[in-house]
Structure 1
Amino acid sequence: MALTTKTIEKLRVDIKHVLNHKLNWQIEEINLIGSGVINAVFLIHEKNLGRLAVRTPWRLEENMMDKNSSGIISLKKEAVISEHCHMYHIPVPKIHQLYFSKEINFIVSDFVAGDGQDIPPYDIGELISKIHKIPLHGLSIADQNEQRLSKIVSQRITERVDSLNKLINSNFIIPSLQELEEILNTAQTKNSLLHLDVRQPNLIGENGMIKAIIDWDNSFIGNPIMELMRIFETKELDEEDFIKGYKDVDIIQNTNAIIQCIYRLDTALMLSILFTSSINDSEKRNYYLKRVHNLTKEITNHL
């Protein structure tokens, strides 16, 4: 299903109607500036507040009042996490309005402009370290439902291995869900807020300085080792420079290798499936399939 011109126009009209006639704003301009698998993003100009960003699920099934839809969860997560991060001076766009109805759901936040230049990995490391250190008092993630991250990841790995085995007719073997969860639960590291999609596209900067980190769809509360292993496994940031900024290398040295491997496997499986079924990139597909093979072997050897 693609985002059509007709859908864009309907979303634009519905957003403008709600803001002007139900919330008594004064919208002078509204234009689409981006879209993803779930959400469309509009830039609006409000007479008193200036330029703002409006994010709304664009698929019909996502823009209903089903509290368990990924679109609704995405908006709730962004609102809650943004408010929490603001209390601890983490650079995230300020939320102005969270709106739910039978017709349309959306969130309005500050529009943060950037110049498109990459942020130095060292600075990203510093920011992620700061995020991992903020208190969690009162913070609850909508789709985590108070579950431990170890349980969520173990379930996800089990499902992903099954999917990949069927997809490429392979026979990757891993420990049971219960065994994976028990291993992850041996970690002594204090839980943190995790972004879990730390990439240049999710960082807005200007002149190399970070102005905002966005897109908290993947976020959970749990062991920060998972965040680090995901960053290292995706290889989108220079690992050495990132760690210099993050500084807390003891967290890695004090974490059992098998735990690191399990968190890496979660990412390698996700990317193997992505580059096999959705994105045609044989080089990355082969690389991550090999990573899955090596990581499953390492995990078995550690048992």
Structure 2
Amino acid sequence: MELTNKTIEKLRLDIDNVLNKRLNWQIEEINLIGNGVINAVFLINEKNLGKLAVRTPWRSEENMMDKNSSGIISLKKEAIISEHCHKHQIPVPKIHKLYFSNEINFLVSDFVSGDGQEISSYDIGELTSKIHKVPLDGLSIVDQNERKLSNIVSHRITGRVHSLNKLINTNFIIPSSEELEAILNTSKTKNSLLHLDVRPPNIIGENGIIKAIIDWDNSFVGNPIMELMRIFESKELVEGDFIKGYNDLDIIENTDTIIQSIYRLDTALMLSILFTSFINDSEKKDYYLKRVHFLIEEISNNL
């Protein structure tokens, strides 16, 4: 399903109707500025608040009032976590309105512009460290449902291995989800808020200075070592510079290799499936398939 001009216009009119007529805002313009698999993002100009971003699910099935739809979960998650982070001085767009109805659902936040200049991996490391130190204060992640991250990841890994085996007609064999979860639960590291998609496209900056981190769709509360392993495995940042900015080598040195490998495997599997089924990049596909093979062997050897 593609985002058509007809759908864009309907979303634009629905947003305009709600903000101007139901909420009595004064919207002077509204334009589409981007879209993903689930959400479309509109830029609006409100007379008193200035430029704001409106994020709304664009697929018809996602804009229903089903509280379990990924679109509704995405909006709730972004709103709750952004408000929590804003309270603790993490640079995120300020939330202005979370709106649900039978016609349209959307989230209004500050529009943060950037100039596209590269942000150093050191600075991103510093920001990630600050996120991991944010007090949880009872923060509950909408789609985590009080489950431990170890439980989520262990089941996700076995599911991804099954999917990858079918995709490339191979037979990767790994320990059961129960075995993986038990290993992950041996870690004594304190839980943190995790972003779990820390990479340049989700960092908005200007003149090389970070202005905001966005897109909390993947976030959970859990062991921060998972965040670090995901970043290192994805290779979108300079690892050495990131570590210097993060400034906590103890967390890695005090974590068993097998735990690091399991968290790395989760990411390698995700990227293998991505480059096999969704993005045509044979070099990255081959690389991550080799990483999956290596990490599975490493986990088996450390059992």
Aligned to 1:258: 258
Show the 5 A alignment for 1:85-234.
85-234=85-234
The AA in structure 1 aligned to 2:294 is N
Partner SS state of residue 181, structure 2: helix
The AA in structure 1 aligned to 2:46 is E
Deviation at 1:234, TM superposition (A): 0.3
The AA in structure 1 aligned to 2:239 is E
Q: 1: CA distance between counterparts of 2:116 and 2:71? A: 27
Q: 2: CA distance between counterparts of 1:67 and 1:74? A: 10
Aligned to 2:298: 298
Show the 5 A alignment for 1:35-54.
35-54=35-54
Partner SS state of residue 61, structure 2: coil
The AA in structure 1 aligned to 2:10 is K
Aligned to 1:246: 246
Q: 2: CA distance between counterparts of 1:79 and 1:278? A: 29
Deviation at 1:302, TM superposition (A): 0.3
5+ residue gaps in structure 1?
A: none
Identity of aligned residues (%): 81
Show the 5 A alignment for 1:50-65.
50-65=50-65
Q: 2: CA distance between counterparts of 1:134 and 1:8? A: 37
Q: 1: CA distance between counterparts of 2:231 and 2:209? A: 20
Show the 5 A alignment for 1:267-278.
267-278=267-278
Q: 2: CA distance between counterparts of 1:283 and 1:82? A: 36
The AA in structure 2 aligned to 1:95 is I
Deviation at 1:132, TM superposition (A): 0.1
Deviation at 1:138, TM superposition (A): 2.2
Q: 2: CA distance between counterparts of 1:41 and 1:136? A: 29
Deviation at 1:118, TM superposition (A): 1.5
Deviation at 1:87, TM superposition (A): 1.2
Q: 2: CA distance between counterparts of 1:37 and 1:118? A: 25
Aligned to 1:14: 14
- TM-score with structure 2 length normalisation? 1.00
Partner SS state of residue 277, structure 1: helix
Partner SS state of residue 211, structure 1: strand
TM superposition outliers: structure 1 runs of 4+ over 3 Å: none
The AA in structure 2 aligned to 1:267 is T
Q: 2: CA distance between counterparts of 1:138 and 1:107? A: 23
Partner SS state of residue 62, structure 1: helix
Q: 1: CA distance between counterparts of 2:289 and 2:80? A: 36
Q: 1: CA distance between counterparts of 2:190 and 2:12? A: 44
The AA in structure 1 aligned to 2:246 is Y
The AA in structure 2 aligned to 1:131 is I
Counting matched residue pairs gives 303
Aligned to 2:23: 23
